Amino acid sequence: GENVEQHPSTLSVQEGDSAVIKCTYSDSASNYFPWYKQELGKGPQLIIDIRSNVGEKKDQRIAVTLNKTAKHFSLHITETQPEDSAVYFCAASMGSGTYKYIFGTGTRLKVLA
Amino acid sequence: ETGVTQSPTHLIKTRGQQVTLRCSSQSGHNTVSWYQQALGQGPQFIFQYYREEENGRGNFPPRFSGLQFPNYSSELNVNALELDDSALYLCASSAGGTDTQYFGPGTRLTVL
């Protein structure tokens, strides 16, 4: 069945360092890949997304890369700050042209001051 | 612009009872999706409503049902509650024809 694998499950970095979270999806028809940040007691907040016709997208300290051939996509956060500490989820659309997501299992990022 | 809102924030029920959760979509959005997020897990897709019609369903039993109203707000109903139904229930809205979903804060359901 459709599946999204996410690694690592936890990640600790020193403030100012970079963090990378990786996901792999199984459905070759998936064409939309959002990333969400979820803080304790809150709903997921969209931080960046990428579509299958683009290989990379950047927004200030956050970037996402997509390798369609390998079915891999990654989140890169540079110059991490304590407020980046949260759980991050990747997701993939369920097939082309659908608006339902399969989520990864999440990465708990801790930025140490 | 008002974001996605959900009510209630928290809810405690006992096994076998029924529950209704509510969601108001973001202004201009006509599509609502519901997800279940168990503790420590990613959200799992329950179903989606587009212009008051169900537009796809995940692997959830029929005791999970929903409605969407003409103003695009939505309800999630769960009958015959089980202990495993304890989770955070998330509602997300999007504009029809686009794939970007915006989530509400969720309803924390505890089944005892």
CB atoms B4 and A100 under 8 Å:
no
SS3 A96: coil
CA-to-CA distance for A9 and B34, rounded, in angstroms?
24
CB atoms B40 and A106 under 8 Å:
yes
Q: Average per-residue pLDDT in chain B?
A: 93
pLDDT in tens, B38-91: 999 999 999 999 989 998 889 999 999 999 999 999 999 999 999 999 999 999
Chain A interface, Cβ < 8 Å to B: 4, 6, 32, 34, 36, 41-46, 49, 89, 91, 93-94, 98-106
SS3 B39: coil
Beta bridge partners of A21: A75
Residue A64 with chain B: CB contacts under 8 Å: none
Asked if B69 contacts B62 with a C-beta cutoff of 8 angstroms, the reply is no
pLDDT > 60? residue B1: no
pLDDT in tens, A40-95: 989 999 999 999 888 999 999 999 999 999 999 999 999 999 999 999 999 998 86
Residues written for chain B: 112
Rg of chain A over all Cα atoms, to the nearest angstrom = 13
Amino acid at A25: Y
Q: In 3D, which of B101, B106, B37 has the Cα closest to residue A49?
A: B101
Amino acid at B109: L
Asked if B7 contacts B69 with a C-beta cutoff of 8 angstroms, the reply is no
For chain A, percent helix, then strand, then coil, each to nearest 5?
Answer: 5, 55, 40
Asked if A63 contacts A35 with a C-beta cutoff of 8 angstroms, the reply is no
CA-to-CA distance for B44 and A53, rounded, in angstroms?
26
